[in-house]
Structure 1
Amino acid sequence: MKATSHGGTRVHLDPAGQGRMPDAARAAFVHWTRHDDRYGPYELEEYLEDVVRGELADRLATALHPPHGDTALFAGAADAFAAFTEQLPLGPGDRVWTTPYEGHEQLTALYALRDRTRCHLTVVPLRENGDLDLEWMQAHLDDSVALVSVTHVAAGCGIVNPVEDIGRMLRAHRCLYAVDASYSVGQLPLDVSRIGCDLLTADGWRFLRGPQGLGFACFAPELKDFYGPSDGIRPRPAPHGAAVVALNAALAERPQCFPDEELADEVRDVVLRAPGTEVIAPGGVQSAMLAFRHERLSAGLMRKELAARDVVVRKLVGQENPLYLPGRGITTAVRVSLHHDTDAQDIARFGEVLNEVLAAAYRSPAVDAPRRQQEGATILRFPTRAAAGEDIGALGLPHGR
């Protein structure tokens, strides 16, 4: 817990949304931002080239264990993935697989790929418990599958997808394998060589605790041309140099430990014991992220009431996972996530405050309306629910093309 200006303690349970920068990283970010503003970019650029980029590459390699050393920096994982899909040379005979747990930014890039190449975009079906159906994948896998895109941990429900099992399945086939690790890097141990992916993308401001606006791609040597200059491809904004310095400083302080699994179980128990809650936790393996909603209280109001009592959580919008959450009637939810420094006192305080907020909700006639009347749907231009295992249409294009 962290002391607040009014003498209390703040419980931060949203590293999946924005990790708290270590003091050294924040100081480096402020120093080099001011230096760049006052003296121009030249000294910062020299410092990046002479010191930081090599150190950062080494620290990312230590965190990811890639079989190769190629990394590129971007403004975020979404930009890194789009830079890849915008150049992928597919055609109408190619198939691309994704999952119901993909984030909307990855889906935006995949829809654009489909528009450009006329490839088939297919959603891998789920088993009854919410796990990806690996038997379906094995039965339908052939050399027409050109790309498989999987998110390691889903932003909206915390499921951990079996990326290593999928990598072993794909190893003997011609398809490229892309993994979005934005919500797993820094939360779970990662080993790119064991995953077997050709491309891993991630944000640097979540569990890695760097500043916003900085992500990276770790890619196989055969994809090197995808991340070089290319005619006709829109240039990607580079992350600010001060952000790169800050991420390097954050990784320098990153301990080789992860959120406590027992504390994650305690959070789940706290929410399950709270009156009127519904936990959104599909699949057999869950991460240290938990989403839930309440029968009376909207997610937005819960977040505000918890924040007023110095407990920081996240309000989720269903369209963050547009192929999974909205089709199941989930428009908004609350997400709790843990970091390696979350302790038992934090969880106990969260439980106390959550029960206090919910007790007040049951006493108040102002929140007696059904949940769906209080929650406003956020509409993005995505299908609310795709038929799993079938090609999906998007943006007015014919279904399955």
Structure 2
Amino acid sequence: MRVHLNTAGAAIPAPGVHRAMAGYLAAEVELGPYEAEAAHAADLERRVYERLGRVIGARAEDIALFGSATDAWCRIVCHLRVPAGSRFWLTPYEYAGNLIALQRLAQRCGGRLEVVPTRPGGDLDLDWMRSRLDERVALVSVVHMPSGLGVVQPVEEVGALLAGSEAVYVVDACQTVGQLPVDVTAIGCHALTAAGRKFLRGPRGSGFAYVRPHLWDRIEVPFHDLHVARADSLHSHRLTTETAARFETAERNNAVVLGLLAAAEHALARPDGAPAEVFGALLETVCQQPGARLLAPGARRAGIVAFTHRDASPELIRDGLAECGVTGWVGLGAHTPLSLAGVDRFVRTSVHHYNTLADIETFGRALRWTTR
């Protein structure tokens, strides 16, 4: 059996995900697509929102479903109403897709992007934030864990710092939901986005967002789909929902939604990521490899171990690992351009609760053989 060390890309689906998706597709064949949807209405219209809400400590009414975490993030941030000349804070660990969206938002309102500096070890400088926070800071974007590095950002401390300010606080939890405890109340964020396919162990093509109700009217959505709005006349329409589903579109892949529900239920049953000893063993294995250079800023780390090698390209290492039955991945510095400037490509490995110490031993032997 292969050793899967690429959960940060896409995890092995949780038990029940394939069964839920295949069963729904079979129902579409047997009953018809509309009829299958009606038969699963409770799961599709209520239970999936409840379960995802429980995963992150939110109400079901504050959850919206999307086709990806990026879609969820952009559907919120790209359409925020912000004053002209606003300041937008982001961290050096910002995902490039988010960064592009922030650039466009700043251009649209004549705003300014500002990067929160880090201390020498790579942790955010919270004192800098505290001393410079004023009414002009309209948005603060923090990636809980970047896609290529295992550094965990202090999202709760940032939330406490921003409490009572005018800033909208958005957390990208793409790599942490399903891996680390995530509680939107403890974080104090106004919005949080996550992917289904990573540590939550759901299907690809799934993502969701938590959006605090007081933020709903500050998001200028391009349109409301007919499952959440009604056109009353030539010149007027009205919303027919009092939930965050107002940000969704009606047409979606119901099999994927049921797979996401199965993943959420599995996460609630076992909400832990990789055991500390497994992550520690992965980190130590890379550190002990001659020629390896660890990419590991920050004091708190989890889940992801990234590195380069003096004598072997990331592609050579990935392919060599694959020959030995180990799945790793080649990360791109361009996906986290502010913190990985000068790093073109690197090896990314990541562990979850299905990985064992024996897996790490297999990885270590494969890495030594590949870079011999």
Q: Same fold (TM over 0.5)?
A: yes
Whether the 8 Å CA contact 1:86–1:113 is kept in 2: the answer is yes
Whether the 8 Å CA contact 1:97–1:123 is kept in 2: the answer is yes
Question: Which among 123, 140, 146 is matched to residue 138 of structure 2?
Answer: 146
Separation of aligned partners in 2, 1:227 and 1:278: 43
Separation of aligned partners in 2, 1:37 and 1:143: 56
Separation of aligned partners in 2, 1:161 and 1:118: 28
Aligned-partner residue type, residue 283 of structure 2: R
1:346 aligns with 2:348: no
Could you report, residue by residue, the CA deviation over 1:74-94 in whole angstroms, capped at 9, with x for unpaired residues?
Answer: 011111111112321123321
Separation of aligned partners in 2, 1:224 and 1:131: 32
Separation of aligned partners in 1, 2:209 and 2:110: 26
Whether the 8 Å CA contact 1:124–1:133 is kept in 2: the answer is yes
Correspondence 1:1-400 to 2 at 5 A? 9-36=1-28, 40-66=32-58, 69-225=61-217, 230-231=222-223, 239-254=252-267, 255-325=270-340, 327=341, 329-359=342-372
Whether the 8 Å CA contact 1:186–1:208 is kept in 2: the answer is yes
Could you report, residue by residue, the CA deviation over 1:12-54 in whole angstroms, capped at 9, with x for unpaired residues?
Answer: 1111111111342112212323544676420232244323332
Kindly state the Cα deviation for residue 311 of structure 1 after the two structures are TM-superposed.
Answer: 0.3
Whether the 8 Å CA contact 1:81–1:109 is kept in 2: the answer is no
Kindly state the Cα deviation for residue 230 of structure 1 after the two structures are TM-superposed.
Answer: 3.9
Aligned-partner residue type, residue 185 of structure 2: S
Separation of aligned partners in 2, 1:332 and 1:32: 40
Separation of aligned partners in 1, 2:55 and 2:98: 23
Kindly state the Cα deviation for residue 226 of structure 1 after the two structures are TM-superposed.
Answer: 6.1
Structure 1, unmatched stretches of 5+, are 1-8, 360-401
Aligned-partner residue type, residue 368 of structure 2: N
Kindly state the Cα deviation for residue 324 of structure 1 after the two structures are TM-superposed.
Answer: 1.3
Separation of aligned partners in 1, 2:321 and 2:188: 41
Separation of aligned partners in 1, 2:49 and 2:111: 34
- In terms of mean alpha carbon deviation, does 202-211 or 58-67 score higher? 58-67
- In terms of mean alpha carbon deviation, does 344-353 or 23-32 score higher? 23-32
Whether the 8 Å CA contact 1:72–1:217 is kept in 2: the answer is yes
Kindly state the Cα deviation for residue 227 of structure 1 after the two structures are TM-superposed.
Answer: 7.0
Q: 1:280/1:116 Cα in 2 relative to 1: closer, same or farther (>3 Å)?
A: same
Kindly state the Cα deviation for residue 316 of structure 1 after the two structures are TM-superposed.
Answer: 0.2
Whether the 8 Å CA contact 1:72–1:227 is kept in 2: the answer is no
Q: 1:231/1:242 Cα in 2 relative to 1: closer, same or farther (>3 Å)?
A: closer
Whether the 8 Å CA contact 1:73–1:239 is kept in 2: the answer is no
Kindly state the Cα deviation for residue 161 of structure 1 after the two structures are TM-superposed.
Answer: 0.6
- In terms of mean alpha carbon deviation, does 246-255 or 295-304 score higher? 246-255
Aligned-partner residue type, residue 170 of structure 1: L
Separation of aligned partners in 2, 1:264 and 1:245: 31
Separation of aligned partners in 2, 1:31 and 1:257: 28
Separation of aligned partners in 1, 2:213 and 2:77: 16
- In terms of mean alpha carbon deviation, does 191-200 or 297-306 score higher? 297-306
Q: 1:71/1:353 Cα in 2 relative to 1: closer, same or farther (>3 Å)?
A: same
Q: 1:231/1:74 Cα in 2 relative to 1: closer, same or farther (>3 Å)?
A: closer
SS where residue 183 of structure 1 aligns? coil
Separation of aligned partners in 2, 1:198 and 1:60: 17
Separation of aligned partners in 2, 1:228 and 1:30: 37
Separation of aligned partners in 2, 1:11 and 1:190: 27
Separation of aligned partners in 2, 1:288 and 1:235: 31
Kindly state the Cα deviation for residue 229 of structure 1 after the two structures are TM-superposed.
Answer: 5.7
Q: 1:214/1:300 Cα in 2 relative to 1: closer, same or farther (>3 Å)?
A: same
Identity %: 37
Aligned-partner residue type, residue 318 of structure 2: R
Aligned Cα root-mean-square deviation (Å): 2.1
Aligned-partner residue type, residue 275 of structure 2: D
2:241 aligns with none
Q: 1:151/1:48 Cα in 2 relative to 1: closer, same or farther (>3 Å)?
A: farther
- Count matched residues: 349
